[in-house]
Amino acid sequence: MQEEKSIFELEEKLEYADPGRRFLAYIIDSIILAVVQGICEFIFKQLLEEGSITYFVIYIPFVLALNWLYFAYLESSPTQATLGKKAMNIRVVSTSGERISFKRATIRYFAKILSAIILLIGFIMILFDKDKQGLHDKLANTYVVY
């Protein structure tokens, strides 16, 4: 079995994305998701009584799944990037510089929750890490590159 090369041993040198671009990509993704969620919320309000248990039992899991699938599917797709990352010309890669699996993208997505709940330290790490990795990147063995 062939040993996986690290991102540093690749012929094509990959450059780590700077934190500013990553943040702007996240802002773009947040705006896109807010618009989609707003449309979905309008539809749900038409179909279900707002504030009812049924509304929350259906709508909240729907929104959570929408966010997870948006990030995990797009980051594991052939483009390796969400719409925000594409706009910023950055993408998510494995430690070998290749496309990540949906499973790894899912791990990365849920690890972002951990990065956030520890006072955003998991995201602040990006500013000081030599490989520009946040906690979620380290847990999922990923890099964000140009």
Token pair for residue 4? 């996986």
* pLDDT tens, residue by residue, 77-113: 999 999 999 999 999 999 989 999 999 999 999 999 9
pLDDT beyond 60 at 17: yes
- What stretches of the chain adopt beta strand conformation (E)? 91-94, 142-145
Provide the pLDDT for residue 94: 96
Pair 90, 25: CB distance under 8 Å: yes
Beta carbons within 8 Å of 95's beta carbon, 6+ residues apart = 4, 6, 7, 141, 142, 143
Whole-number pLDDT of residue 49: 80
- Confidence tier at 8 by pLDDT (50, 70, 90): low
> What does the alpha-carbon distance between residue 44 and residue 23 come to, in Å, rounded to a whole number?
30
Based on the number of CB atoms within 10 Å of its own CB, is 72 exposed (0-12), middle (13-18) or buried (19 or more)? buried
Contact 109, 140 (CB under 8 A): no
- Taking CA atoms, 56 is separated from 11, 40, 100, 134, 146, in Å, by 51, 13, 33, 32, 39
C-beta separation of 125 from 141 below 8 A: no
pTM of the model: 0.88
Counting Cα atoms < 13 Å in the Cβ hemisphere of 93 gives 22
